[in-house]
Structure 1
């Protein structure tokens, strides 16, 4: 099996982020944690994932400070996984992926789950990228200044 290329020293924030949360299982584990799943067996049942792969992904998410291991809330000998603040900060990423999926991977009348505001029970408004004054931008109105460009 080829060695996986790591980007932990990369100048690109996207490359570093993909190293930590870029595989589908890690993102789905984080999604499930947002949905209230906390125990290994619950993650396994919900994802249909082999124990060794789930163990590996949970270990990585804990090592990167996205999840933390806590004693079970019910006082049993089990432990639970909970999102840290770093993990909760991934909410906007998951909402963005969800909205992209809704726009591009479902037929207009095809049913799918919907993310709702807990207070109003209404769907969330579409995420937009804005400039510092709040003006919406599209991909042609932004650019990346590379570290090598600054020198």
Structure 2
């Protein structure tokens, strides 16, 4: 049970960080070099693929875990369904939210790369002007 709480806590923190990246990039408060940005984009695209698979896995768990008709089998099956779906703190909600935000994060990183390049060009222009 502690592992599930740790997983949902980690996913929740990642979800919050993703929202923070999007917000900061939209405000122009986040810049990143093209090399680092491209690495992050690759990471978030891989995360999106992983999340898609987890959504599929959750749908499987929500159906019913075939553990037989014993009280223990039924209890585990019911528990799995409850963990997989439910309120805003459920695994399903977190994964769906993250999956929906992943393309937005990729766009935010692209915006941050553009902001970096814009600042870099401005700084280059300032240096060129001071050297004249």
TM-score, normalised on structure 1? 0.24
Flag the structure with more relative contact order, 1 or 2, with Cα contacts below 8 A and sequence separation at least 6: 2
Identify, as 1 or 2, the structure richer in helix. 2
Larger radius of gyration: 2
Identify, as 1 or 2, the structure richer in strand. 1
TM-score, normalised on structure 2? 0.26
